[in-house]
Each structure stands twice: as C-alpha cells, then as structure tokens.
Amino acid sequence: MSTALYAEWTKLRTVAGPFWLVALAAVLTTALSAVTARAVSCAAAGCGVDAPLIALTGVQLGQAVVAVLAVMVVGDEYRTGMIRTTLAATPSRAVLLGAKSVVVAGATLAAAVPGVLGAWLAARLIMPGRGFTAEHGYAPLSLTDGGTLRAFAGSALYLTLVALLSLGIAAAVRDAPTGVGVVLGLLYLAPILAAVVSDPDWERRLHQIMPSDAGAAIQHTIDLPSLPIGPWPGLGVLALWSAGALVLGGLLLRLRDA
Amino acid sequence: MIGLVRAELTKFRSVRGWLVGCGIAAVLMVLLAVVAAAGTDARVGGPRARGALPHSSDGTPVFDGFTFVQRPLDGDGTLTVRVASLSGVALRPPTPGDTAPEAPSGSEEEATTEPWAKAGLIIKAGTTPGSPYTAVMVTGSHGVRMQHDFVHDVAGPVDARWLRLVRTGGTVTAYASTDGAAWTRVGSAPLATGAVSAGIFVATPPHQEYEQFLGGTSVVGGGAIATGTFDNLSAAGTGPGGDWTMVSVGADDSPNRPESTSTREGDTFVLRGAGDIAPIDGGAGPKQEQLLSGGFLALTVLAVLGVLFVTTEYRRGLVRTTFAATPSRVRVLAAKAVVLGAVTFAVGLVAATAALLVGTAIRGANHYPADALTQVRIVVGTAALIAVATVLALAIGTILRRGAGAVAAVVVLITLPYILSAAAVLPAATADWVLRITPAAAFAVQQTVPEWPQVDQAYTPAFGFFPLPAWGGFAVLCCWTAVALVVAAALLRRRDA
C-alpha cells in the first residue's frame, strides 16, 4: 500500500495541473465568499442571516475545481494510457483506488483548508462593515465558537468528500470530461430541483438525499431544528454517496479491462 | 464549406456515445418536467389566492374585490366626485412565518399609506368578479391612475383629488382635476354599451414585505384596510331616484378579507374595505417554465458533447488529419460550430416540446397562464439557449484543449450564477447584476410571468423575474459565445495542433 501511495503521490506532484488546480480551488473559494460577504447586508437586529453560511458560499465554486482535480487523477491516466503501466505496477484495483483516494483527499484538503480559512478571514474583515455587528447580534466570526468551527471545518470535509465522490465517478466513466459533467450535474441539480418542486414533503426529501444539499447542512449554524437534515447526518449522507461512488468505481475497475 | 460541414457531421454521428448523450439529455429534460409537475403543491397567486380565481377578458388571472357603492347606469352618463381623503393601513404588524427570520417591527408601516390603496370612480359591466371595467382613482403613493380591464394602467396628475368618468356610447373617458373646475383628460377605454354599475369604490392590497434569506424567500405581511372619504358626488345619467347601494365585490372568494362598510352623512360617503382590482403576479405560484428546468441537465450533458467534439480530436490525433485535409482552421471551427449548434438545437427542440407536453399533461393547467406565442418562445428559446451554450462549450474546449476543465468552466459559468441568484443566496440587487452579465442571463427566455407596474411585488430572480427581456438575456449568452469563438479561432491559428 505504501509503495502504491508513494507512486500516486509522485504522479500527482510531478505534473503541473494538480498544483494549479489546488491553488485555483483555494483562490476561487475565498474569492466567491468575499464577493458574497460584500453583497449581503444586515439592516437591523434579527435579520436572520446565517453569517457562516454566507461566508462559505465560495465552497459552491470551489467544489467544481475540486471535482476537476479528482476526476483528472483517474481520467488523465486513461487519456494518456498511463493506466496500463499503473495497473501493471499495482495489480490490485482496490489498493490502487485506495491509494488514489488518500492522495486525492490530501490534495483536496491542501486546497480546502486555505480556501476555507481565506473565506473566514474575508468574512471577518468584510461582514462587520455590512451590518453584521454586535448591535445586530453578530459577534465577529470566531473559529473557537462551536457552530462556526463546525461550519468551516465541515466545509473542508465537504470538499474532500466531493473529491472522493468525483474520484469514484471518474473510475466508473473513465473519461475526464464526462466525469466532470456527471459530478457537476449531480451537485448543481439539487438547488434547481428545489426551486421547481413546491410540495413540502418532496422538497424535504430532496434536501435529505441530494449529496450537495444534504452535505451543505454542515454549513448551517442557526435554526438547526428546522433543517430537513442535521449538520452531521447531512455530511454523513454525502459520505454515503462518496462511498457508494468509490465502491461502484472500484467494482467496475475490477470487472473491466483497462 | 458544405463538404466540411458534412465531414464534421459524419464525425459527430459516427460516435455512438455522442448520440446516446443526445438521447440522455432529452430524457433527463422530460424526467425533470415530470418531477416538477408531480411535485407542485402551490397555487397561482400564492397565499393571497383562495378559492377559484376570476379571469379578465384576456385570460389573465386577477384579483377583483372591493367595496363598491353603486347605482345602475343604462346609457351615457357622467360621474364626478372629490376624494377628500384616502388612507390604507396595515391591520397589524407583519408576523414572521415559521421559516422566515423575524421581520423588523411594523410600527413604521402602520403610519404610511399602502402605496396601491385605491379610492375613486368605477364603471363596471356588473358586480361579478372579473367583469370588464374602467376606473379612475386616487392611490396611496402613485397619484391619480386610470385603470381598465385589470391589465391597463395609465398615470394621471399626481396631486389631483377631483375625479370624473364620462361614458359616451361604447367609450369611457377619465378626467382628473385639482380644483373641480379645470379638468385634465387622463385617458379613455372601450366599455360595452348596455346596463352597467357605476359608483365609488375603495380597495387596498394586503400589506406585504418580501423577505429573502439563504435558500428561499418568504412573503410576510398581513391584511390592510383602506378608508376613503368622498364628497361632491354627482351622477348624471344614472336611473332616476336610484339609491346608492353598497356591494362587497368578490367577498365570497376571500373569506378572510376585512368586512366592507360604507356610511353616508349628508353628501359625504365613507367607505372602508380591502381587496384589490389588479392582475395577479405569477411570482409566488407555479410557473410554466418550471417544466423546462431540465434544460440545466440537458445543457450539462450537451456541454460535455460540445467539449468532447473538439478535445477528442486532440486526444486521438485526428486533429492533424483534419487540419491536413482543411488547412484553414477557422473554417474547421466554423463547421464544427454549425454542426454542433444545429444538432443540439434539434435535440433541445424535441426535448423542450416533450417536456412541456408531458409536464402539462401531469399538472394540468395549474400554473400561471401563458399564451401560445409565449409557449413557442420558451420552447424555441430553450432549444436555442442549449445550442448556443453547447457552441460556447466547443469554443472553451478549443481554448483549453483539456476536456475536464472546459466542462467545469461551462457549467460554472452558466449554472452557478443562476443557482446563486435564483436560490436567493445573493441579495436581489446583486442577483440582478449577476443575471445581466453572466451567460445565465439567457434563462430569461424561459420567463413566462409578466411584471405589472401597478402591482407591488418583489420582481427579483428569486421569484422568477429576470432583469433583462427574454431575447436581451439570450443576446448576453450569444456575446459570450462570440467572444469565446474569436479567441478560440485566434489560438487555433497560432498554436500547433
């Protein structure tokens, strides 16, 4: 396993693409968060805005870059034919996918942690100027606050789980552009469905089962009992999706010729 | 060029996966229409509408409820009145809904008059809700208006208090005056001849505030009641000795409406009541374009095809053969764009038509009505939107030459701005800007609900209202695609294959 890990790590760090994608994911996550924090305002006490949730809007953009990063780790090998060498060196498909998962998770965290921290810093600097002040009931965002910490650390985990979901799907479809299409279709479908489905039962169920919707529950800090799904169970639903995708990808990897 | 187009068409149709992709795009679009239709639980008009809605003569669903003090009018006649005062106040401070955040205290709203509280003269074909009418009125903060048949609204002088309606044959003309001596003509409208009801009325729509919070919107507010004081009422031409009688028009449709009352003291009439005489806005209820929301999924699938259509040539090395056969690279790109645009337009047209038909079959007519021309526009517009977006994907694929990044770029450019705006993450003003400058502006071609200047409503993306007109929004996407194609052509010429 450790040699497979080392091999995957070498493949990842010796091409320029992943490095730039990691940087891009971090920058875009912070940038969209900063723009959103600048756009949202709180006019009076009790304006009901979930400040950490606003500060983490950038994750919705960052997840697209993370998905590309994870999909390319598999897709590029098929594109270049490297996969045959890889499988010759590591015949066990499970070990290979496991090693790839660890490396992809590490690379994603390397993007997610600075991205989320950047979002926190941007929100801390910008939001007090937009009415999120003590008079309106908003303390400056602090990572020592339990709910805020859960939202920010959970968002890093969210991005990691999205990367693993993408990796599994990429192993299943074996083509990078198609893989990105499937992942983004899945992630961005939920909010669009929620906009057209007005039956409250349907809407609730959608929020509970769609990967991006359920997973994003981790970013909520206020009014938790009224959420369709709690923060940690929500992230758990996303983890199930990721696990399911990895199992499917691993199974197809095992059953098919490269 | 024809040979070139044929070559590209052959490349497209000889890859089985791409044809399957077209099929998947169409199936997903219909599938989402089924989900959208089956998952509908709201009513046209939102929480304000109870019971069956009346429709105006042109089919627009309307509110038609007001306090009416009237006399029969058989032929020509002239009504004149002075509106001594009009107030329209919220009955109670807005109460926040279950999921809405606490609204700011309502004390300030109580003091101000509802902007569209109405008091004035009306000549109406009958007291049945939805029947044609012509009215001239003083409003809370929009000056004197002449309105007829719900959808028409003409602004008059701002500070006039004297109102006059003159019925001559099949025409009713409205006048307004500040002193009762010098009259200004506001406008005129046709009204069928025969027996009608004529008199004075008051109405005010409920007090509403639109709250937007992450992931949704809510309407908070409560009832409002208008009080109008009238004097100097004269009605030439109405039946001899006919008494003024009060009718609460449309009271059966809205049981929760505050009761209509009218008192007369000498020549002074005081009318109190709620309701409105206006078209319903379609923002809160089900809309026909929701059946076409599968366009996003179809677009994602076809964007993958658009990107693959060029990156696969690089991946397989076919691009060198292509360029050896046709050294003019710009023409190759043009041929690819033509083939891709035509094929995806056809797929989009079939898918959008099927989605609308299937969705309507399931949901019935439970959505804001759209005429045939609008339906054609949203179907053709969706197909055109999908086709142009796919060509944008082709151009970005040519620029980046890396499929995964190009697909992500297209989806993020088109879908994410829409999600952030329509799912109410961004405040309305920002969302409006986002939907003016990003390719997501093109989804304006799907908007079916009209904006009524005479109805207060949050005309924001969260309620399905786009800042640009339908084809204006589509033009934004076309501009993005044109720029991307130019950049792609320039890079194609400069770079080695």
Q: Residue A225: its chain B contacts at CB < 8 A?
A: none
Return mean pLDDT, chain B. 86
Work out the minimum CA distance from B1 to partner chain A, whole angstroms. Answer: 29
Residue B269 near residue B231 (C-beta atoms within 8 A): yes
Phi, psi dihedral angles at B55 (to 5 degrees): -120, 145
Q: Please state, rounded to an integer, the average pLDDT across all residues of chain A.
A: 90
Contact B427 A203 (CB under 8 A): no
The answer to whether the CB atoms of B408 and A65 lie below 8 A apart is yes
Rounded Cα distance between A165 and A163, Å, is: 5
Residues A120-126, mean pLDDT to the nearest whole number = 93
Which residues numbered 134-193 in A keep a CB inside 8 Å of some CB on B? 175-181, 184-185, 188-189, 191-193
User: Does residue A45 carry a pLDDT above 80?
Assistant: no
pLDDT tens digits, B281-305: 777 778 888 899 899 999 999 999 9
Q: What pLDDT score does B244 carry?
A: 86
Alpha-carbon gap: A49 to the closest alpha carbon of chain B (Å): 7
pLDDT digits (tens, 9 = 90+) for A207-238: 899 999 899 899 998 888 888 899 999 999 99
Whole-angstrom distance, CA of residue B407 vs CA of residue B11: 20
Q: How many CA atoms lie within 13 A of B31 on its CB side?
A: 11
DSSP for B368-387 reads: ----HHHHHHHHHHHHHHHH
Task: Give the distance from residue A42's alpha carbon to the nearest chain B alpha carbon, in angstroms.
Answer: 11
Q: Collect all residues of chain A within an 8 Å Cβ-Cβ radius of residue B39.
A: 196-199, 202-203
Alpha-carbon distance values, B420 to A160, B103, B438 (Å): 22, 23, 12
A19 shares contact with chain B (CB less than 8 Å): no
CB-based contact A43 B104, cutoff 8 Å: yes
pLDDT for B306 equals 95
Kindly provide the ipTM of the predicted complex, given to two decimals: 0.93
pLDDT for res B31 = 93
Q: Is the pLDDT of residue B428 over 90?
A: no
Number of H helices, E strands in chain A: 11, 0
Q: Considering Cα of B113, then B116, then B122, then B126, what sign does the dihedral take?
A: negative
User: Distance (Å, rounded) from C-alpha A115 to C-alpha B228?
Assistant: 59
Segment B431-436 mean pLDDT: 91
pLDDT of residue B208: 75
pLDDT attached to residue B416: 92
Residue of A nearest to B302 (CA): A181
Mean pLDDT of B396-400: 94
DSSP 8-state class, residue A47: -
**Checking DSSP bridges between strand B162-168 and strand B77-90, what pairing results, if any?**
antiparallel
Whether B98 shows a pLDDT value over 70: the answer reads no
Q: pLDDT of B17-76, one tens digit each?
A: 999 999 999 999 999 999 888 887 766 655 555 556 788 888 888 888 899 998 888 888
User: pLDDT tens digits for A67-93?
Assistant: 999 999 999 899 888 999 999 988 889
Residue among A57, A166, A184, A187 with most chain B CBs within 10 A, to mutate: A184
Residue of B nearest to A75 (CA): B404
Asked if residue B139 has pLDDT above 50, the reply is yes
Predicted pLDDT of residue B225:
87
CA distances from residue B193 to A8, B56, B75, B381 in whole angstroms, order as listed: 86, 18, 7, 42
Determine whether the interchain pair B408/A184 forms a contact, defined as Cβ–Cβ distance below 8 Å. yes
* Helix (H) and strand (E) counts in chain B: 10, 17
Eight-class DSSP state of B113: P
Please report the DSSP string for B247-302 in residue order.
EEETGGG-TTSPPPEEEEETTEEEEEE-BEEEEPPSSSS--GGGGGTTHHHHHHHH
Query: Which of A36, A166, A196 would best serve as a mutation to test chain B binding (most B beta carbons within 10 A)?
Result: A196
Instruction: For residues B392-413, give the mean pLDDT.
Output: 94
Q: Which residue of B has its CA nearest to A74?
A: B404
Provide the whole-model pTM.
0.88
Buried b / exposed e over B30-67, threshold 16 CB at 10 Å, is: bebbbbbbebbebbbbbebbeeebbbbeeebbbbbbbb
What is d(CA A230, CA A217) in angstroms, rounded to the nearest whole number? 6
Q: Is the pLDDT of residue A142 over 80?
A: yes
Instruction: Provide the token pair at B442.
Output: 């093109």
pLDDT at A181 over 50: yes
Would the CB atoms of A61 and B412 count as touching at under 8 Å? yes
Residue B110 reports pLDDT greater than 50: no
* Stretch 28-87 of chain A: residues touching chain B, C-beta under 8 Å: 36, 39-41, 43-44, 46-50, 53-54, 57, 60-61, 64-65, 67-68, 71-72, 75, 79
Mean pLDDT value across residues A102-112: 95
Chain B residues in contact with A196 by the CB 8 A cut-off are 32, 35-36, 39, 290, 293
**Looking at per-residue confidence, does B114 or B106 come out higher?**
B114
| Contact between A48 and B415 using a beta-carbon 8 Å cutoff | no
**A chain contacts of residue B430, beta-carbon cutoff 8 Å:** 39
If we measure between CA atoms, which residue out of B89, B78, B162, B122 comes closest to residue B247? B122
Q: Cβ contacts of residue B353 below 8 Å, gap of 6+?
A: B379
Is residue B221 classed as helix, strand or coil in its secondary structure? strand
Find the angle CA(B317)-CA(B320)-CA(B321) to the nearest 5 degrees: 100
* B210 strand-pairing partners: B219
A228 touches chain B (CB under 8 A): no
Q: Does the structure show a pLDDT above 70 at B169?
A: yes
Structure tokens at B358: 């299937």
Is the CB of A178 less than 8 angstroms away from the CB of B304?
A: yes
Q: What is the pLDDT of residue A146?
A: 85
pLDDT at residue B52, rounded to an integer: 64
pLDDT higher than 50, residue B180? yes
In this structure, what token pair is assigned to residue A1?
């396993």
Q: How far apart are the C-alpha atoms of A165 and B155, rounded to whole Å?
A: 58
The average pLDDT across B247-261 equals 76
Instruction: Say what the pLDDT of residue B42 is.
Output: 63
The rounded distance, in Å, linking the Cα atoms of B311 and B395 is 11
Residue of B46, B88, B41, B75 whose CA lies nearest to B63: B46
Q: Which residues of chain B make contact with A188, given a CB cutoff of 8 A?
A: 296, 300, 411, 415-416, 419
pLDDT at A245: 96
